[in-house]
Structure 1
Amino acid sequence: MKLKAKANRQMGVPRTAFLSCLLASTALSGANAQEQSADTNENFAFEEITVLGSRRADARSAMDAAVPVDVLSGDDLNAHGSTDMLDVLTSSIPSFNANREPISDAATLVRPVNLRALPSDHTLVLVNGKRRHRGAVVGEFVSGVNRGAQGVDVNPLFGAALKQVEVLRDGAAAQYGSDAIAGVMNYALIDDPEVRRITAQYSQAYEGDGETWEVSGAFGTHVGDTGFATLSFQVKDGQPTSRGVQDGEGTNSGATALADAGFPIQDPVVVWGAPEVKNDYKVIVNSAIPMGMSELYAFGNYATRDVDGSFFYRNPTNRSGVFAADGNVLFADTTGAGGCPVGPLPTDSFANAEAFINSAPSNCFAFQSLFPGGFTPRFGGKVVDYSASAGVRGDMLETGRYDISINHGKNDVAYEIYNTVNASLGPNTPTAFELGSQIQSETVMNADFSIPVAVDAFASDLNIAFGAQYHREQFEIEEGQEESYVAGPYVDQGFSVGSNGFQGFSDKVAGTFKRNSKSIYLDLEADITDRFLMSAAARYEDFSDFGDTFNGKIAARYNVTDAFAIRGAFSTGFRAPTLGQSNLQRASTGFANGQLIEQLVIASTDPIAEFFGGGQLDPEKAENISLGFTAQLGAVDLTVDFFDITVKDRVSLTSATIDDASRQELIDLGNPEAATISQVQFFVNDFDTNTTGVDVVANYPIDWDNGRTNITLAFNYTDTKVTDRGATISDGREREIEDALPSTRTTLTVSHSVGQFTGLVRVNHYGEAYESLFNDATLPVVTPGMFIVDAQVTWDINEMLQVAVGAKNLFDAYPDEWSTAGFTGRDGGFLGAIYPLNHPAGLGGGSLYAKLTANF
Structure 2
Amino acid sequence: MKLKKLLLVTSTISVVGLTPTAVFAQSSETTPQAEDAADSQIITVIGSRRAARSATDSPVPVDVLKAEDIRSQGSTDIIDSLSAIVPSLTASREPISDAATLVRPVNLRALPADHTLVLVNGKRRHRGAVVGEFVSGVNRGAQGVDITPLFGASLKQVDVLRDGAAAQYGSDAIAGVINYQLLDDPNIRQLSIQYTNGYAGDGKTIELAGAIGGHIGDNGFVTVAFEVKDQQATSRGVQDGEGSTGGAAGLAAAGFPVANPVVVWGQPEVKDDYKLTVNSAIPVGDSEIYMFGNYSTRKVDGSFFYRNPTSRQGVFASGANALFADTTGAGGCPVGPLPNSSFAAAEAFVNGAPDNCFSFFSRFPGGFTPRFGGTVNDYSGTAGFRGKFESGFTYDFSAGFGRNELGYEINNTVNASLGPDSPTNFNLGAQIQKEIIANADFTYPVNVGLASDLNIAFGVQYHDESFEIAQGELDSFRVGPFVDQGFSVGSNGFQGFSDRVAGVFRRNSIGLYLDTEVDVTDQLLLSGAVRYENFSDFGDTFNGKLSALFKLSDSFALRGSASTGFRAPTLGQSNLQRAATSFQNGQLVESLVIASTDPIAVFFDGGQLSPEKARNFSLGATADLGGLTLTADYFNIRVKDRIALTTAAISEADRTLLIAAGNPEAATISEVNFFVNDFDTTTQGIDLVASYPFSTSAGDTSVTLAASYNDTKVSNVGTTIDENRRREIEDSLPTLRTTFTISHNVGMFNGLIRLNHYTKVFENLFNDTTLPITTPSLLIVDAEIGFKFEDHFKISVGAKNLFDTFPQEWSLDGNTGRTPGFLGAIYPLNHPAGFNGGSYYVRLSTNF
Instruction: Give the equivalent residue in structure 2 for 1:134.
Output: 127
Q: In the alignment, what sits opposite 1:11?
A: none
- Which AA in structure 1 matches 2:38? Q
| Deviations 1:771-799 (CA, angstroms, capped at 9, x unpaired) | 00001111011000000100000111132
Q: Secondary structure at the match of 1:541?
A: strand
Of residues 517, 522, 528, the one that matches 2:509 is 517
Q: Structure 1 residues 662 and 432, CA, compared in 2 at 3 Å: closer, same or farther?
A: farther
How far residue 320 of structure 1 moved from its aligned partner, in angstroms, is: 1.1
The corresponding residue for 2:28 is: 19
Percent identity of paired positions between Structure 1 and Structure 2: 65
Q: Does 1:366 align with 2:359?
A: yes
AA matched with 2:800: K
Contact 1:743 1:768 in 2 (8 A): yes
Residue 143 of structure 2 aligns with which residue?
A: 150
Partner of 2:567: 575
User: Counterpart of 2:805?
Assistant: 813
Q: 2:848 aligned with 1:851, yes or no?
A: no
Q: What are the within-5 Å matches in structure 2 for residues 442-521 of structure 1?
A: 442-456=435-449, 458-521=450-513
1:110 aligns with 2:119: no
TM-score with structure 1 setting the length: 0.92
Asked if 2 retains the 8 angstrom alpha-carbon contact of 1:773 and 1:780, the reply is: yes
8 Å Cα contact 2:310-2:316 kept in structure 1: yes
Among residues 36, 47, 50, which one is paired with 1:53 in the alignment? 47
AA aligned to 2:696 is W
* Residue of structure 2 equivalent to 1:739: 731
Q: 1:253 Cα shift?
A: 6.7
- Larger CA deviation: 252-261 vs 269-278: 252-261
Unaligned ranges ≥5, structure 2: 1-24, 583-588
1:419 aligns with one of 409, 412, 434: 412
Query: TM-score of the superposition, structure 2-length normalised?
Result: 0.93
Counterpart check, 1:90 vs 2:87: no
Displacement of 1:361 in angstroms is 1.5
Q: Tell me by how many angstroms 1:225 deviates.
A: 0.9
Number of the residue aligned with 1:243: 236
Q: Tell whether the 8 Å contact from 1:405 to 1:445 is kept in structure 2 after alignment.
A: yes
Q: By how many angstroms is 1:293 displaced? A: 2.0
CA distance in 2, matches of 1:649, 1:73: 37
- CA pair 24-792 structure 1, distance change in 2 beyond 3 A: farther
Alignment check: 8 A CA contact 1:501 1:589 kept: no
Find the counterpart in structure 2 of residue 219 from structure 1: 212
SS of residue in 2 equivalent to 1:430: coil
Q: Name the CA distance, whole Å, in 2 between partners of 1:409 and 1:252.
A: 53
Please say if residues 637 and 698 of structure 1, whose CA atoms lie closer than 8 Å, have aligned partners that are also in contact: yes
Q: What amino acid maps onto 1:439 in structure 2? A: I
Residue 635 (structure 1) shift: 2.2
Q: CA deviation at 1:634?
A: 3.2
Contact 1:502 1:589 in 2 (8 A): no
Helix, strand or coil for the counterpart of 2:804? Answer: coil
Q: Deviations over 1:86-131 (max 9, x none)?
A: 0001110000011101000000110011000000000000000000
Q: Which position in structure 1 is the counterpart of 2:423? A: 430
1:295–1:577 distance in 2 versus 1, CA, 3 Å? same
CA distance in 2, matches of 1:99, 1:33: 37
- SS at the partner of 2:785? strand
Cα separation, 1, equivalents of 2:245 and 2:475: 26
CA distance in 2, matches of 1:793, 1:663: 67
Change (3 A) 1:276 1:252: farther
* Alignment-derived partner of residue 42 in structure 1: none
Aligned counterpart, 1:783: 775
What is the letter of the counterpart of residue 304 of structure 1?
T
Name the aligned partner's letter for residue 322 of structure 2.
V
Asked if structure 1 preserves the Cα contact closer than 8 Å seen for 2:429 and 2:496, the reply is: yes
- 1:121 partnered with 2:125: no
Cα 1:660/1:387, change in 2 over 3 Å: same
Alignment of 1:371-770 (within 5 A): 371-396=364-389, 398-456=391-449, 458-587=450-579, 600-657=592-649, 679-770=671-762
CA distance in 2, matches of 1:601, 1:24: 55
Q: Give the letter for the 1:93 counterpart.
A: V
Aligned residue among 34, 38, 58 for 1:34: 38
Separation in structure 1 between the aligned mates of residue 33 and residue 824 of structure 2, nearest angstrom: 47
Distance between the aligned counterparts of 1:707 and 1:618, measured in 2? Answer: 57
Q: Secondary structure at the match of 1:608?
A: helix
After TM superposition, give the deviation of residue 705 of structure 1 in Å: 2.2
What SS does the aligned partner of 2:479 have? Answer: coil
Q: Distance in 2 between matches of 1:91 and 1:24?
A: 31
- What is aligned with 1:43? none
Q: Distance in 2 between matches of 1:490 and 1:78?
A: 55
C-alpha root-mean-square deviation of aligned residues, in Å? 2.5
* Larger mean Cα displacement after TM superposition, 803-812 or 338-347: 338-347
Verify the 8 A CA contact 1:778 1:821 in the aligned structure 2.
no
Report the Cα distance in structure 2 between the residues aligned to 1:682 and 1:650, rounded to whole angstroms: 14
Q: What is the CA deviation profile of residues 34-59 of structure 1, one whole-angstrom value per residue up to 9, with x for unaligned ones?
A: 249xxxxxxxxxx99543131012x4
Instruction: Give the alignment partner of residue 340 of structure 1, picking from 333, 340, 344.
Output: 333
2:592 aligned partner, one-letter code: L
Query: Which residue is equivalent to 1:292?
Result: 285
The one-letter code matched in structure 2 to 1:298 is M
Whichever residue aligns with residue 778 of structure 1, its letter is: T
Change in Cα spacing, 1:744 to 1:286, as seen in structure 2 (3 Å) is: same
The Cα offsets for residues 454-481 of structure 1, whole Å up to 9 and x where unpaired, read as: 011x110000000000000000011000
Q: Which runs of 5+ in 1 are unaligned?
A: 1-15, 26-30, 37-46, 591-596
Please, which moves more after superposition, 497-506 or 360-369? 360-369
| C-alpha distance 665-741 of structure 1, shift in aligned 2 (>3 A) | farther
Partner residue, 1:12: none
Aligned length: 816
Tell me the distance in 2 between the aligned counterparts of 1:608 and 1:333: 36
SS at match of 1:750: strand
Q: 1:48 to 1:708 in 2, by over 3 A?
A: closer
Shift of 1:762: 0.5
Task: Say if 1:638 and 1:583 are closer, same or farther in 2 by CA, change over 3 A.
Answer: same
* Whole-angstrom CA distance in 2 between matches of 1:24 and 1:366: 76
Given residue 212 of structure 1, which amino acid in structure 2 is its aligned partner?
A: T
Q: Distance in 2 between matches of 1:253 and 1:465?
A: 68
> Would you say the 8 A contact 1:20–1:50 is kept in 2?
no
Change (3 A) 1:382 1:221: same
8 A Cα contact 1:23 1:73, kept in partner: no
SS in structure 2 opposite 1:271? Answer: coil
Displacement of 1:632: 1.9
| Contact 2:126–2:435 under 8 Å retained in 1 | yes
**Cα shift at 1:85:** 0.3
Contact 2:490–2:581 (8 Å) recurs in 1 = no
Question: Which secondary structure does the structure 2 equivalent of 1:831 belong to?
Answer: coil
Contact 1:453 1:462 in 2 (8 A): yes
Retained in 1: the 8 A contact 2:43–2:55? no
Residue in structure 2 matched with residue 262 of structure 1 by the alignment: 255
Match in the other structure for 1:175:
168
Deviations 1:126-153 (A, max 9, x none): 0000000000011100111100000000
Which runs of structure 2 are paired with 1:783-802 in the superposition (5 Å)? 783-802=775-794
Q: How far off its partner does 1:19 sit?
A: 2.0
For residue 405 of structure 2, what is the amino acid of its counterpart? D
Counterpart Cα distance in 1 of 2:601 and 2:592:
11
> How far 1:248 moved relative to its partner?
1.4
Instruction: Give CA deviations for 1:648-699 in whole Å, capped at 9, x if unaligned.
Output: 0000011234556668999995659x96x87532111000000000000000
CA deviation profile, 1:506-564 (whole Å, cap 9, x unmatched): 01111000000001000110001110000000000000000000000000010011111
- Determine the C-alpha separation between the residues in 1 that align with 2:77 and 2:629: 29
